[in-house]
């Protein structure tokens, strides 16, 4: 039996189709996922992301513990800011990609993917053992509501007093929404401007309804996980399990910039130093197709002779762009934008062109 979101009743009321995701029952879509995708690109979408794992790391040694446990320089993050980072195994393999918020000098919030939340909690707890730091799982009592899209600023501005002009991308502030204590962050996974609201699970429904009401005049639609995936793919953002796995290092995924060798010892350092050039044989690229047939996770990428030269990690017919897009690992010599390749779509070679990521970038 999968775990219900604290917003389960609201989703049911809205007629959501549910999907089982990492042990949670979450809304896949409410109506048309294409309409939800479009709402996020052109107006605003409201997501329940309560399946994400929230882990608090607190104490005088919290910063040092995270510097040891993660590949990034978390002690260097200013209070009120957030950082995209990763947690690696001793062998350098990626255990999860994370967003870490520094809420106070001695207080961090680590947000993990639902599928890896238990692993991240266990590893953080073990790795913090020698530090003056406490690791607390807050997932069960925390709901995460995301408001994403060009109109998100108007909707969020209408429900709280926070100074949104001052709230930069990857920054957070404590505020109140309809009397509910809220950690408001300008983060997201859609390629649009947007906000994420961390609230107590037992107040989530109230916050959801207040945001929904404020969103009425701004074209807000509730949006499910189906469009979350197509939005992040258009924005060229990696998904753990697709672009990132425990078999690869951050360098293999082209995300070596998150690894900070200049800091002290951290878990995975030796292996990452050794493996940082291993992935040089292949590269994560964007593929642009024509027609309507999308390549999917696991499909082979082939050259003109039909020889396999890579593998698709994610693919979809882009709702915004109207043509098929995919991310794939391909041989480095074929990774230059403009290179003509093909994807084997269930026995039929569909021509694709290597393009730079992201596929979609919002106008500044």
Smaller CB distance to other proteins: residue 67 or 229?
229
Cβ nearer to other proteins, comparing 59 with 324: 324
Given a contact cutoff of 8 angstroms between Cβ atoms, the answer to whether 123 and 60 are in contact is no
Measured distance between the N- and C-terminal CA atoms of the chain, rounded to whole angstroms: 44
Q: Determine the interface stretch with other proteins among 154-162, 195-203, 223-231, 302-310 (rule: CB under 8 A).
A: 223-231
* Helix, strand, coil share (%) of the chain residues, nearest 5: 25, 35, 40
Asked if 253 is part of the footprint of other proteins (rule: CB under 8 A), the reply reads no
Of 25-33, 45-53, 61-69, 120-128, which part binds other proteins (CB under 8 A)?
25-33
Nearer to other proteins, 6 or 315 (CB): 315
Does the protein bind other proteins through residue 297 (CB under 8 A)? no
Is-contact 288 351, C-beta < 8 A? no
Nearer to other proteins, 15 or 337 (CB): 15
The token pair that represents 209 in the structure block:
């309804």
Closest C-alpha among 350, 348, 319 to residue 328: 350
- Chain centroid offset of residue 94 CA: 14
Should residue 14 be labelled a site residue for other proteins when binding is judged by CB under 8 A? no
State how beta strands 24-29 and 3-4 pair. Answer: parallel
Residues 118-147 that bind other proteins (CB under 8 A): none
DSSP 106-128: TEEEEEE-GGGHHHHHHHHHHHT
d(CA 272, CA 184): 34
Place of tokens 């300008």: 186
Contact pick of 94, 128, 180, 294 for other proteins (by CB under 8 A)? 294
The count of residues interacting with other proteins (CB under 8 A) is 17
Q: How far apart are CA 152 and CA 346, in angstroms?
A: 40
- With respect to other proteins, which residue has the nearer C-beta, 17 or 332? 17
Asked if 38 interacts with other proteins (CB under 8 A), we say: no
34 contributes a contact to other proteins by CB under 8 A: yes
Among 29, 68, 102, 186, binds other proteins (CB under 8 A): 29
Indicate whether 292 belongs to the interface with other proteins (CB under 8 A). Answer: yes
Query: Can you give the C-alpha Rg of the chain in angstroms?
Result: 21
C-alpha torsion sign, points 175, 180, 181, 187? negative
Query: Quick check: 156 binds other proteins (CB under 8 A)?
Result: no
Confirm whether residue 196 is marked as ligand binding. yes
Q: Which member of 161, 305, 346, 347 binds other proteins (CB under 8 A)?
A: 346
Residues that bind other proteins (CB under 8 A): 17, 28-29, 32-34, 226, 229-230, 292-294, 296, 316-317, 319, 346
């Amino acid at each position: 039996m999968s775990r219900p979101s604290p917003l389960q009743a609201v989703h049911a009321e809205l007629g959501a189709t549910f999907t089982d995701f990492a042990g949670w029952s979450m809304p896949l879509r409410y109506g048309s996922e294409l309409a939800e995708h479009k709402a996020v690109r052109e107006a605003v979408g409201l997501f329940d992301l309560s399946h994400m794992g929230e882990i608090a790391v607190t104490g005088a040694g919290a910063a040092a513990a995270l510097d040891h446990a993660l590949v990034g320089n978390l002690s260097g993050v200013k209070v009120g800011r957030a950082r995209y980072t990763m947690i690696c195994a001793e062998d350098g393999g990626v255990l999860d990609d994370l967003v870490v918020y520094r809420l106070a000098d001695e207080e961090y919030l680590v947000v993990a993917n639902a599928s890896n939340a238990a692993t991240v909690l266990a590893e953080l707890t073990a790795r913090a053992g020698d530090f003056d730091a406490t690791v607390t799982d807050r997932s069960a009592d925390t709901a995460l509501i995301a408001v994403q899209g060009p109109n998100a600023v108007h909707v969020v501005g209408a429900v709280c007093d926070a100074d949104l002009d001052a709230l930069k991308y990857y920054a957070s502030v404590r505020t109140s929404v309809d009397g509910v204590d809220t950690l408001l962050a300008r983060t997201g996974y859609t390629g649009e401007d947007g906000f994420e609201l961390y609230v107590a699970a037992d107040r989530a429904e109230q916050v959801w309804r207040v945001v929904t009401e404020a969103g009425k005049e701004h074209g807000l639609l509730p949006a499910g996980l189906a469009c979350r995936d197509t939005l992040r793919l258009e924005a060229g953002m990696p998904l753990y399990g697709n672009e990132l796995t425990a078999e690869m290092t951050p360098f293999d995924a082209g995300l070596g910039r998150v690894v900070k060798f200049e800091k002290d010892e951290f878990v995975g350092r030796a292996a990452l130093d050794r493996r940082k050039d291993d992935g040089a044989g292949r590269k994560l690229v964007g593929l642009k197709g024509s027609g309507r047939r999308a390549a999917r996770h696991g499909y082979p990428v082939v050259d003109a002779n039909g020889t396999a030269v890579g593998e698709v990690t994610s693919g979809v017919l882009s709702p915004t762009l109207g043509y098929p897009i995919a991310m794939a690992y391909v041989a480095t010599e074929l990774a230059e934008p403009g290179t003509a390749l093909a994807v084997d779509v269930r026995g039929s070679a569909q021509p694709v062109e290597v393009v730079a990521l992201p596929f979609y970038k919002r106008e500044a």
